[in-house]
Chains A and B, each alone.
Chain A
């Protein structure tokens, strides 16, 4: 599914402030994997995500997606392959539009023209699955929703078109514990029932322990796999 081979990223190469953000990072994620990525601030987690999203060209190494070496992917193609949800609930939705309009945008990834598309029925099914009552409030402006509701909607929007991978960058960090738990349950459902490979960055050790079938840690740009049941111990070091 996704394979990183000896990825190295050096910022400001050849300058006084040269910084090696990733060192020979190798990672393989298969279909339906739920990979939890932990690491302290500045360890290189976001750099890794930017490489996977094609926003950052690595200084060295190879990146494969669905067994194809990736040099440069179009924004449209990347959106089809990878869904993403970030920490800020407003970054995954369009706050000034209604839930219906948000789902309409998410139902068709890639270039759009002056056409009229319909909401993918799957989007409504997913909304019903959330049990937040959002399916009955389709004409509500998203800006009026709570952070947890927005984040849940963002997750639904990210997976409507069946991406291969769902990248989650501390997506529960700004939510209250109850909403965070609900969003994590949705994450698990997406992984298990929709068969989407999930790569989740988190600082929440409870979630790192409870969710995911694989855990990796990034420390000073170096990635290593954490054996099962050692997550807390490794992170506490």
Chain B
């Protein structure tokens, strides 16, 4: 790993920068969303519930989703530069792909649930956001999965 890092061609640096920056923004967006949604979970007052639920939804939509796109674009760019064809891909690359792509589906479902939850709370003045409560563990699982991806990308298990 030390040798690999030392001999990494300079042409890989910028795509790697975009990939890592996107992943960091994605994780930051998920941390924010989980914090907001967990706070909404503990509230009964409609105004408080709506404010936290909205915060969770917007963190997912405006931070986590663009972060995922940047991370994925950077990943594909650097993959093309490294010359992986799909036949001889190492395990860590496979872990990254599975977590990124399966995670995207979960992310979209989470955003949808969080958005519908906000809409319901706003219309009905509810004291609990059931859809938001389903979205909270999903966002938490995503956060854990992407931290596992960080491990796979850095430790690069065979």
- A and B bound? no
Question: A: which residues have CB within 8 A of B?
Answer: none
